[in-house]
Structure 1
Amino acid sequence: MTVEFEAARLGPILYYRGLKGDALQVAAMVLLPIGEEPDLLEAGDAQHAPKLLREIGRNAIWRYDFTLTQSNGTYHLGDQSYSVQTDLTGDMRIAFASCNGEEEGDLDRDQEERNLMWAHMCDAHRRAPFALLLQGGDQIYADEATQGHPLSEAWPDKADRPRNAEELEDLADHLRQRFAERYVQALFGEAPRWIMARVPTLAIWDDHDICDGWGSLYRSKTYSEVGQCLYRVAREMYLLFQHAAVEADIPDLFLDKTGTSLSWQRALPGVTLLAPDLRAERGRRQVMGAYGWSATEAMEPGTEHTFLISSVPLLGPRLSLVEGLMMMIPTMQKYEDDLRDQWQSRAHRDEWVRMLKQVLKWRETAPVTVLSGEIHLATRAEMGPDEMRVHQLVASGIAHRAPPQGYARSLGTLAGLGDAPVSGHPIRIHPLPGQKHRYTAERNYLELRRTGGTWHAVWHLEDSGDTEPMALE
């Protein structure tokens, strides 16, 4: 018997939809106990009633759609007022974060410790407001959501077949409520909910938003009835909690109108945001399928600056060397899916080159900066030559505790080998400003700062503090 997702009064969480003229189009999501009447939301001179998205357990999830103007960026809900940065024409600040959780025991962590860097982001926003929050993957760690149900208890080691459709739907209900619990923790903790009520967010998903290594596991697991049920629910919950959306909203929010790929593109004044979906069609021998590639190749770069969100680092070390070595050692083969997850895997090299060439094509129009997470470390990379330089900024682990220093040093040694999958465009991994080593093992998030028309990057590190601003020419 599934334990019901407890009733709660939570929200709002703010989502960025786009610009209409100089007005900011946003959505706000709230959770209320089923049967409780939601308040009207006030923005400017208008009142907005919410739309019921769905019910989960004892909760109803509602969405308000509204517009904020440059002259009035405040909205009111209940007895609370929320101010949003809506003047986007000059200087601007964008936050980027990823890896908001851990694989085991995340629901039981001390919330103040877990959300320490979120609290840091809130303080930074109070000093100088962020206009947008980008979330680069692993916004939740759903790995333990399969526990507690007989069909999925041993997932992914074992994928039992359901006896009938009713048993499979019971699993779906179990997963739906377990995913919702994790989203409530990730979005509605004291610090995350404070800033996400005031800074609209945009998100792309990664494997832990489904399960560890989704798409890099063997097809016998992911294409089993249990595996497909898990993916169906994870996708539904990703749309709901990370985009305040349901299936009918897909044509308005994503580039692939069929929803097979959940790639998206948005813009702010002077900057374009591109986010290919690297999970929906992933397999052991592909990162994206036909729908994802069609969406990606249809993306249009900005004329001033383009930020590309790649949920796994696009510019990285020669992991194919490690991959080959690990497959020769039986005790290390269990980590194969972690390496298959990377663009640099032997299985994805042709596709990696295709993506790098696409980025270079965009670079002909304007500077391109890649934003990435996934590795629980902070680092940066460049792909040359100088006149066509592409920067990559990795900020990973806003809540996930940092791996050992030895791991970061070993990865840094491997990165010293360099790589040039596209002739004439060598890739180099560099330390953050002020750091000695290529990879920094501290919890972190990234600030993108436009001042006087020039973009700079600042990493906020848990122990070392803030880096010096790095220009993104």
Structure 2
Amino acid sequence: MVDEAQQPQRAGPILHFRGVAGQGVRLAAIVIRPRHEPPPPPIRLPGAEIAPRRIAEIAQAAVWRHDFTLTPAQGGYEFEGRFHPVAADLTGDLRLAFVSCNGEESGDMDRDGDERNLMWRRLARDHAQAPFALLLQGGDQIYADEATQGHPLSADWPQRTVPADDPAALADLAEHLRRRFVARYLHVLAAPGYAAMAAQVPMLSVWDDHDICDGWGSLPQEQTDSPVGQVLFGVARETYLLFQHGAVESDIPDLFLDPTGASLTWKRELPGLTVAAPDLRSERGRHRIMGPAGWRAVKTLAPQGEQVFLVSSVPLLGPRLSLLERAMMVVPRMQHYEDDLRDQWQSRTHRAEWQRMLAQVLEWRARADVTALSGEIHLATRAVMGPDAQKLHQLVASGISHRAPPQAYARALGLFAGLGEAPLPGHPIRILPLPGQRHRYVAQRNYLALARRDGRWQAAWHLEESGETPALDLSA
């Protein structure tokens, strides 16, 4: 077993996309070093040096940030004697990558690195051949489920909640969790393939449950609202901001639609393209997916581009889960899967909220093409919601490093999806095979490439065994 205390306190540079600035892009590059070391060197651009600023110290690590604007003519930046090319021209033809589920629930830090990061190395090779301008991360960038182990207040979380009202004990728990969350982030950020992408491709990320703990928000409220649960959420949020956005609390009004930070919903406008991600975790409970701040952010999202990519950490379009939920509730051995089903938009508990979200998306669809990007299910699939005049595409790429479930599971889910679903009258949802595939769900590790060519968007999945799929025209 990996000794987390011996994990290196080094990673970076890691690029975060801030927005468009004239003909260039605004970027933040974070570098993590042991807290006792001097600051890292400046980032060098033609005619300029960008000194780092220390934005945080956490678990014996210091996080430094370089904020700068890069133009296409500059082509990239130099750090520690190495030039990193960056695709800074966001006009015309454009390539984006989408990934999710970068880890596993148990033993992820003990896995063989070559096996774990296989698809990351493929993605890095793909980028070297045809550069990506953005890396979109759709949730579960780390699997923090084991972070609660090893401390008396959280060792049995979430099966058993220990009463805790001692401020010193809770502060000790917070430091324990910070060490373990940071170890998991550094394990990911320094991995071959990922590190190469992170230094050259600016990222935008949304979180999901494993970035906190399995099923966060769908667990009983007495667990998530307990002092231990709130310390866990606070540390997860702190490290999510730091490592997935290169940000601290004071940056929230500049980066997210809700300046209070109750919801971490974000939006970025690129030439001809809006990329947005509602926060489906910060306000989640067993009876809601988003709270008041999240819905206010969604209402003010107002996409401007001709194409909208909406990152939904759990699939926005899916099969009729309410039937499966009813069946599971009468089978005692299956009742422990209830939290997994309640986590989905399609849960019978969330149906009214799901309909509300779909109606909002259709308002955007009246002004632009909308494609939902989702992960979470450890399978690759796609869906459409019709009719053709208002067609909404959904592309699911899930499992960049999480191993795929059995083929039998994918086949059974595909049969279930054949029942169909229509939460909004006149807008049936259909789960469809990927281009070149026979079945609705593909049980292989995968990532998604999105490309704009001559003003038209296409998508192709890269599957671990089957390779790249034929392109799917998102304008069709």
TM-score, scaled relative to structure 1: 0.98
Which residue in 1 is equivalent to 2:370? 368
Give the CA deviation at 1:258: 0.3
**Counterpart Cα distance in 2 of 1:140 and 1:330:** 31
Alignment correspondent of 2:266:
264
Deviation, structure 1 residue 318 = 0.2
Give 1:227's aligned residue. 229
Higher mean alpha-carbon deviation, 392-401 vs 159-168, is at 159-168
Letter in 1 for 2:160: K
Corresponding position of 1:64: 66
Percent identical among aligned pairs is: 60
Q: Which residue of 1 aligns with 2:450?
A: 448
**Partner of 1:14 in structure 2?**
15
Distance 1:152 1:254 in 2: 31
Distance 2:125 2:420 in 1: 38
| CA distance in structure 2 between the aligned counterparts of 1:365 and 1:299, rounded to whole angstroms | 13
Give, in whole Å, the separation in 2 of the partners of 1:191 and 1:31. Answer: 18
Which residue in the other structure is 2:24 paired with? 23
What is the CA deviation profile of residues 57-91 of structure 1, one whole-angstrom value per residue up to 9, with x for unaligned ones?
A: 32211111011002112111111111100122111
Structure 1: 5+ residue stretches without partners: none
Q: Is the 8 A contact 2:451 2:458 kept in 1?
A: yes
User: Contact 1:99 / 1:396 at 8 angstroms: preserved in 2?
Assistant: yes
CA contact (8 A) 2:10 2:190 kept: no
Residue in 1 that maps onto 2:36 = 35
Residue 469 of structure 1 corresponds to 471
- Once the two structures are TM-superposed, the CA of residue 6 in structure 1 deviates from its matched residue by 4.8
Does the CA-based 8 Å contact 1:7-1:59 persist in structure 2? no
TM superposition shift of 1:163 = 5.1
Question: Do the aligned residues in 1 keep the contact of 2:165 with 2:227 (CA within 8 Å)?
Answer: no
- For 2:18 and 2:190, locate their aligned partners in 1 and report how far apart those are by CA, in whole Å: 20
| Alpha carbons of structure 1 residues 411 and 7: separation in structure 2 relative to 1, 3 Å | closer
Distance 1:298 1:394 in 2: 25
Q: Which residue does the alignment assign to 1:157?
A: 159
4+ runs deviating over 3 angstroms = 2-7
SS in structure 2 of the partner of residue 323 of structure 1: helix
* 1:74 equivalent in alignment to 2:105: no
CA 1:453/1:3 → structure 2, altered by over 3 Å: closer, same or farther? closer
> Would the aligned equivalents of 1:48 and 1:65 in 2 still touch at CA under 8 Å?
yes
Relative to 1, partners in 2 of residues 1:467 and 1:183: Cα closer, same or farther, differing over 3 Å? same
2:181, 2:266 → 1: CA distance? 23
Q: More deviation in 178-187 or 373-382?
A: 178-187
* SS at structure 2 position matched to 1:371: strand
Q: Does 1:144 align with 2:146?
A: yes
- The amino acid across from 2:213 in the alignment is C
Q: CA RMSD in A?
A: 1.1
Worse-matched range after superposition: 408-417 or 53-62? 53-62
CA distance in 2, matches of 1:287, 1:117: 31
Query: Which position in structure 2 is the counterpart of 1:378?
Result: 380
The range that moved more, 387-396 or 52-61, is: 52-61
Q: Give, in whole Å, the separation in 1 of the partners of 2:304 and 2:376.
A: 25
Q: 1:48: Cα distance to partner?
A: 1.1
Pairwise CA distance, 1:9 = 3.0
SS of aligned partner of 1:143? coil
TM-score by length of 2: 0.98
- SS of the equivalent of 2:219 reads coil
How much has 1:270 moved relative to structure 2? 1.2
CA shift at 1:402, angstroms?
0.2
User: Could you report, residue by residue, the CA deviation over 1:261-303 in whole angstroms, capped at 9, with x for unpaired residues?
Assistant: 0000002211101110000000001000000000001111234
> More deviation in 128-137 or 27-36?
27-36
For residue 86 of structure 2, the aligned residue among 68, 84, 87 is 84
- The letter of the residue matching 1:375 is I
Corresponding position of 1:330? 332
